[in-house]
Structures are given as structure tokens and as C-alpha cells.
């Protein structure tokens, strides 16, 4: 997948003195976008390496909770994949892997958890849909947490640049069951129904 945009590598502002009457002014300068074939190949290789690593369930960690489990994840931005058995069911990108792993077990903070609750426990007596403001009823919350801790695994990779491109490639190629959005801003046909 060739990126649709060149990779920008801004250089630090150079101090350029220009005479403006009797005073000097600073004029910032930036490097022009790189658009050589090598750059496209490097970007493609970068994305493909992360996709290959993340889509292999080997080495995925069982979902956990608590400070000890969270210590395994950096606060860096990155991309993560969630597996149920060997099936990739969700892919996401985040500005903080540690923060997002904490969010996985809070219904109000993660779409995947709400979708799993709807799918797995939608026919449970007393079911009430959750939202970003309201959790499921307590008994469903407990069953959902137990299900997630027992059946789900996560694999993450710190990615300082290009994480949205990696996430989009994962979704395009693997179509994880619970990703309801396609490319940024598009909603899948399944999510519209």
C-alpha cells in the first residue's frame, strides 16, 4: 500500500536573517516533502512490518487488569490488536498504549467492550445497552469482564509515526469483526444496519 501522501520530515527552523528596513527578522524554513521512490518503499515496509507482527497471535498477552499487568505497556503511542483465540477481532491505535489497555475494561471508554457486551450478553435477562456515559447493568458488567479476561489476548506495538496508516491497513486486510469504522471518517455497512 503506497501512502497517499508524502512523508514530511520538517527540519528545525533555521535562523535566516533578512533585512527588513533597519531590523532583522526570523523566517522559518522547512524541508520540502520527500517523494522519492525510496521513501515510499520505506513507508510501505514500515507499515507491513508492524502489520505482520501485530496480526500474529503468537506472543499475545492474556488480557489482564491491575498495575502489574499495565506495567507491561509503555505510555508511548502505538497500535494494538485484540484476539479471541487465534481470531483478530479488533484493531486500534492510541496516543498511549498503557492508557488504552486500562480503558479496555471500562465500558464507557472502549467501543470494543460495548460491542462485546451487546453481542455476548444482549439476550441476558435485565440487559440494557451501554454507551460512552452509561455502563451495562452490574451483573452483565461482571460477566463481560470475566469473559474478556478469560478469552481475549492483546498484542501491541509502540509506533511514534504512521499508526493510523497501520491501523487502516490492518482493518482493510483483516476486517476484524468488531471494527465498525473503515478508513478514517467512514462507517462500515455493518455499522449502518
Of 38-47, 81-90, 179-188, the poorest mean pLDDT is in 179-188
pLDDT band at 141 (very low <50, low <70, confident <90, very high): very high
Q: Measured between alpha carbons, how far is 36 from 111 in angstroms, rounded to an integer?
A: 39
Most confident of the following: 134-143, 159-168, 175-184? 134-143
60-192: CATH number = 3.40.1440.10
Does residue 106 have a pLDDT over 70?
A: yes
Q: Is the pLDDT of residue 51 over 80?
A: yes
User: What is the per-residue pLDDT for 19?
Assistant: 42
C-alpha closest to that of 101 among 117, 120, 124, 78: 78
What pLDDT score does 185 carry?
54
CA angle, 180 as apex, 171 and 69 as ends, to 5°? Answer: 75
Length of the chain: 193
- Report CA torsion sign: 121, 126, 128, 130: negative
| Range ranked top by mean pLDDT from 4-8, 42-46, 168-172 | 168-172
Using left for φ > 0, alpha for ψ between -120 and 50, and beta otherwise, residue 115 falls in alpha
Spatial contact of 162 and 49, defined as CB atoms under 8 Å apart:
no
Residue in the block written with cell 488480557: 63
Domain boundaries, the chain: 60-192
Cβ-count burial of 6 within 10 angstroms (0-12 exposed, 13-18 middle, 19+ buried)?
middle
- Strand order across the beta sheet in which 78-84 lies: 61-62, 152-158, 78-84, 87-94
Lowest-confidence segment of 34-43, 115-124, 144-153, 172-181 by average pLDDT: 34-43
Amino acid at each position: 500500500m503506497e501512502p497517499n501522501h508524502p512523508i514530511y520530515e520538517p527540519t528545525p527552523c533555521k535562523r535566516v536573517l533578512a533585512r527588513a528596513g533597519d531590523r532583522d527578522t526570523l523566517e522559518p524554513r522547512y524541508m520540502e516533502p520527500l517523494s522519492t521512490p525510496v521513501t515510499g518503499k520505506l513507508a510501505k515496509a514500515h507499515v507491513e512490518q508492524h502489520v505482520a507482527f501485530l496480526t500474529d497471535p503468537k506472543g499475545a498477552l492474556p488480557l489482564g487488569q491491575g498495575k502489574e499487568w499495565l506495567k507491561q505497556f509503555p505510555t508511548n503511542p502505538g497500535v494494538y490488536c485484540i484476539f479471541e483465540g487465534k481470531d483478530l477481532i479488533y484493531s486500534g491505535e492510541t496516543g498511549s498504549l498503557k492508557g488504552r489497555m486500562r480503558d479496555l475494561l471500562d465500558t464507557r471508554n472502549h467501543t470494543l467492550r460495548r460491542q462485546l457486551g451487546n453481542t455476548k450478553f444482549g439476550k441476558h435477562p435485565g440487559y440494557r445497552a451501554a454507551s460512552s456515559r452509561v455502563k451495562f447493568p452490574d451483573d452483565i458488567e461482571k460477566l463481560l469482564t470475566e469473559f474478556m479476561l478469560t478469552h481475549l489476548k492483546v498484542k501491541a506495538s509502540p509506533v511514534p509515526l504512521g499508526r493510523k496508516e497501520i491501523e487502516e491497513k490492518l482493518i482493510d486486510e483483516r476486517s476484524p469483526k468488531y471494527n465498525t469504522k473503515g478508513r478514517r471518517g467512514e462507517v462500515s455497512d455493518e455499522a449502518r444496519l
